[in-house]
Amino acid sequence: MQTGSNYKNIVEEIYNNHFDKIYRFFYFRVLSADIAEDLTSNTFLTFAEIVRGDKIQIQNPNRIIYGIAKNIFLQYLKQKYKSEIPFSVIGDNFEEFVSEEIKSIEDKPTLEERAIKYINLLPQKQKEVAYLRFIEKMSLKAIAVKLKKNVNYVKVTQRRAIKSLKIIVETGF
């Protein structure tokens, strides 16, 4: 790929193709949207500065963007933990490392998916209220309207469901 006059196109293409993947990697690693945005922005700004210069020709922009992301992530970790992070932790191919990390995170069941397993073990009335409250994230009033019950019924049933869930989780039944 060439630099110089078409650097804007190169930066745009790389940004469009890799922004989500790099941002999600940073987000899942630091668990902060603000920090992930900063790290992602620094990655693409550094890439844009490199591409803007006419001194080098970029043959593999994917490799460069992931190399920059790797270095920015390692700098962040060094600053956060005030120590050296060995490259062997991440490996040589950062793009592959990012893909594997995101896949492993996406393959894990969500909290809701894990909760459904236990909610399904509750008695029917508790199951209905717990599902609507914790999975559907409905308010107590909305649940009362949907089930055609009063709010006190929903509150009591929710309390009983939570107590039952605690027993189920602790005992495994």
What CATH number belongs to 111-171?
Answer: 1.10.10.10
State pLDDT tens for residues 80-113. Answer: 877 655 556 666 777 787 888 777 777 777 777 7
* In contact, 2 and 61? CB cutoff 8 Å: no
In the chain, where are the structural domains located?
A: 7-107, 111-171
Nearest-angstrom CA–CA distance, 144 and 129? 9
State pLDDT tens for residues 114-159. Answer: 788 888 889 999 999 999 998 888 999 999 999 999 999 999 999 9
Q: What percent of the chain has pLDDT over 90?
A: 32
Amino acid (1-letter code) at residue 38? D
Nearest-angstrom CA–CA distance, 169 and 161? 12
Amino acid (1-letter code) at residue 93? N
Q: What is the pTM of this model?
A: 0.50
* In contact, 73 and 26? CB cutoff 8 Å: yes
* In contact, 53 and 3? CB cutoff 8 Å: yes
pLDDT category at 72 given cuts 50, 70, 90 is very high
Nearest-angstrom CA–CA distance, 111 and 130? 14
